Structure 1
């Protein structure tokens, strides 16, 4: 899920129903020991639907609130992911082999800290994040080009440990300056969490502010560092340009979401058809029945449901006219289902 792709889908949706927009989005927060004890039930009641929590910094510092945030957010029903604050500036000799070992040491410490959570609850926690906010600066690495090469190599070495032990790549968190100046172009293959504080979730960063990700777009966006929500102030606020179904692609472990299961109960049946029917042509943030991921509820989403439910059983239902939606009923009890 990248912002430009969602934006494109919104434009395409105008060709289907005039006035429809793909404005689905989720509100998230990121926390650390700076927030002390977070009340995640209050966060849930305030509309928070995902989060990130600091786990480690360098190789010597654990966040004192990490375990509490991971456990209590899950208890509140909020998917959360861990992040590591990297210290790529700590290698004494950046041009030597200590560069690689420095990154490996930090990544190893990070994975040791977070892996038990993924193992205990597969399919619940979001992918890990590498927070990049530090640059090397000494006699050997002091130009932008040297820092770019050094930092990019450090990120790749860090990620190699995460990928080997967890099976996923990290999400890179950085600001526009880093995205534009301090990463080699090949790092655009990583998912991006961009820090760009506009203090308005309706004013996203432009492509030019995404640096090497200008074509790919962002996955998460931190739009404020001074929010007030759920009893916490100040608080970092984040935007995810998609639905809860879209967010599932960032979860680690567990089964992938079942196509056509629009109500999320693990079964593709008539209830999912009803969910699709009831959101047909609506202009709201509920795109859970957007099976073909084009940013609008349309007949293509019925086709996705039908392909997974069974074309023969679905054919009798047809594609309703928008004006006749309320007249259409489905006998759920008489229909079969496709289960995992």
Structure 2
């Protein structure tokens, strides 16, 4: 039968075979095996171990009755049988008057079977349909009662279990057509009490039908004394598959692993997802933000790579100096630094970044401030600022023949020289520039200009410094311009 999740039972049997010990009596092929059937009417605390020791080595346990009534002792009975190592099947006592009600009963039985799935290794015998209640005969079409059995048994078989029908000779012979049931492969549990019987050497025939019972209930028990009904079967293997399990798919973080069970007797097989998922193994991960790209904090599973809990770290895209140009004053001059992310939030100095200032920062020159991102940020950015030479002012401009002479205030500290710029435009369009390479010079004559032409003149200082191995001039701002008109 296709009773699910019998892997442990199979493993036990295989172990017995490997160890070359004798098989238990109920595993024999033709020898009679004695057992019981129980329900709530047998009371609480059924001692399966005692029965087992007395030779009752299997049992059929009532699961339910009617549309949706669970036997009050069902779970206690199956748990006790399992604990005692007694193979068992289950049965449902029917009150169905038609096939619709038989379907309802089958669906209820399947719902209980689903709760048993994978939990009982000794649940190896069939699921039986108990047809004996007089109300069925009184309220049903006697010619179609067999359809109740077929409806129930086909539903049980479709669910993966071996179906069985329980009835007495009257029912089997007159209402159920035992030959039809047998031809469909349903197992048969025959109630025919012969308490004085002592010969169990061969299966019993159901009346004169030519069909033999798989289980024979040959004597009634004594409910008052707690003694169950007497049953016997002959071919245990014909009723119970013996399954061996093999893992065919390992569990993942979220999906169950699968085990394929194959019957060692007939090759029947089924697959069950019965290995619990491992669950994710998350570890915190950090992709640091840079000046150009957002970062993120997230959790990543070390097994399957699944990611959860993403938090975006906005890139540090706004890094600025408070000032990029200073005028030499003989003192250290350094700008402050502001670092903001792309959302405009100010980052914290010491936590998110650190600042490295160059040496000096007093003399005229170009200085580089290095900002190194840290913590949740990565990367560096270099920012430059100048300390430019101090400027000068024009003292006077004297007109000359087709020229002029400009005089300025000397500015010799942290300078290399001067530049004089002149133009006929007050906005110094198309201006010409003259460079004076000595910082102690304070005047310059310019000639060969147009006569009687008004010119605008201004002066600035410069200093030549080395930047990147090259000589570069840094300039002061221009002085205030003065005008002059050349002579003829």
- TM-score between the two structures when normalised by the length of structure 2: 0.40
Give the match for residue 174 of structure 2.
Answer: 181
Query: Aligned-pair distance for 1:74?
Result: 1.1
Q: Tell me, which stretches of 5 or more residues in structure 1 are unaligned?
A: 1-21, 90-98, 260-340
Structure 2: distance between partners of 1:103 and 1:152: 11
Distance 1:79 1:128 in 2: 13
- The question of 1:224 aligning with 2:219 is answered yes
Pick the aligned partner of 1:63 from 48, 71, 82: 71
Q: Quick one: which of 158, 168, 191 aligns to 1:195?
A: 191
Deviation at 1:245, TM superposition (A): 5.1
- SS of the aligned residue for 2:67 comes to coil
Change (3 A) 1:52 1:234: same
Larger displacement relative to structure 2 (111-120 or 76-85): 111-120
Distance (whole Å) between structure 2 residues aligned to residue 219 and residue 182 of structure 1: 19
Q: CA RMSD in A?
A: 3.0
CA distance in 2, matches of 1:40, 1:120: 18
Aligned match for 1:32, one of 36, 39, 61: 39
Structure with more of its chain in helix, by fraction: 1
Q: State the partner residue of 1:163.
A: 157
Spell out structure 1 runs of 4+ moving beyond 6 A. 250-253
TM-score by length of 1: 0.56
8 Å Cα contact 1:123/1:255 also seen in 2: no
Distance 1:82 1:112 in 2: 13
Report the CA distance between 1:183 and its aligned residue: 1.2
Q: 1:248 aligns with which of 240, 243, 268?
A: 240
Q: Show CA shifts across 1:226-261 (max 9, x none).
A: 259xx953320101124x5565349899532369xx
Residue 83 of structure 1: CA displacement? 0.4
Tell me the SS of whatever aligns to 2:64: strand
- Asked whether the equivalents of residues 57 and 86 of structure 1 are also in contact (C-alpha less than 8 Å), the reply is yes
SS at match of 1:30: strand
Distance in 1 between the 2:237 and 2:56 partners? 15
How far is 1:120 from its partner?
Answer: 2.6
What does residue 252 of structure 2 align with? none
1:161 Cα deviation after fit = 2.0
Cα distance change, pair 183–150 in 1 and its aligned pair in 2 (3 A): same
Q: Give per-residue Cα distances to partners, 1:294-323, cap 9 Å, x unaligned.
A: xxxxxxxxxxxxxxxxxxxxxxxxxxxxxx
Number of positions where the alignment pairs a residue of Structure 1 with one of Structure 2:
215
Q: What is the alpha-carbon distance in structure 2 between the residues aligned to residue 159 and residue 124 of structure 1?
A: 18
Q: Secondary structure of 2:63's match?
A: strand
Alignment check: 8 A CA contact 1:123 1:251 kept: no
8 Å contact from structure 1 (residues 123, 252) kept in 2: no
Which structure: greater strand fraction?
2
Match 1:44 to one of 39, 44, 52: 52
Distance (whole Å) between structure 2 residues aligned to residue 223 and residue 199 of structure 1: 6
SS at match of 1:199: coil
Once the two structures are TM-superposed, the CA of residue 69 in structure 1 deviates from its matched residue by 0.9
Q: Shift of the alpha carbon at 1:215?
A: 2.4
Unaligned stretches of 5+ residues in structure 2: 1-28, 246-260, 267-488
Distance 2:180 2:53 in 1: 40
| Alpha-carbon distance change, 250 to 171 in structure 1, aligned in 2, over 3 angstroms | farther
Aligned ranges 1:297-336 → 2 under 5 Å: none
What are the Cα deviations for residues 153-186 of structure 1, in whole angstroms up to 9, with x where unaligned? 1111112321222x23411110011111111342
Number of the residue aligned with 1:330: none
Q: 1:194·1:218 contact (CA, 8 Å) conserved in 2?
A: yes
User: What displacement does 1:210 show?
Assistant: 3.3
Q: Is the radius of gyration larger for structure 1 or structure 2?
A: 2
Q: Which residue does the alignment assign to 1:115?
A: 114
Alpha-carbon separation, structure 1, partners of 2:57 and 2:180: 31
SS at match of 2:165: strand
| Partner secondary structure for residue 128 of structure 1 | strand
User: Superposition pairs for residues 201-216 of structure 1, below 5 Å?
Assistant: 201-203=197-199, 207=205, 209-210=206-207, 214-216=209-211
Is the CA contact 1:118–1:125 (under 8 Å) kept in the aligned structure 2? no
CA distance in 1, matches of 2:243, 2:218: 22
Change (3 A) 1:109 1:238: same
Give me the whole-angstrom Cα distance separating, in 2, the residues matched to 1:83 and 1:202.
27
Give the 3 Å change call, closer, same or farther, for CA 206–23 of structure 1 in structure 2: closer
Give me the whole-angstrom Cα distance separating, in 1, the residues matched to 2:71 and 2:131.
17
- The CA distance in 2 between the partners of 1:199 and 1:127, in whole Å, is 25
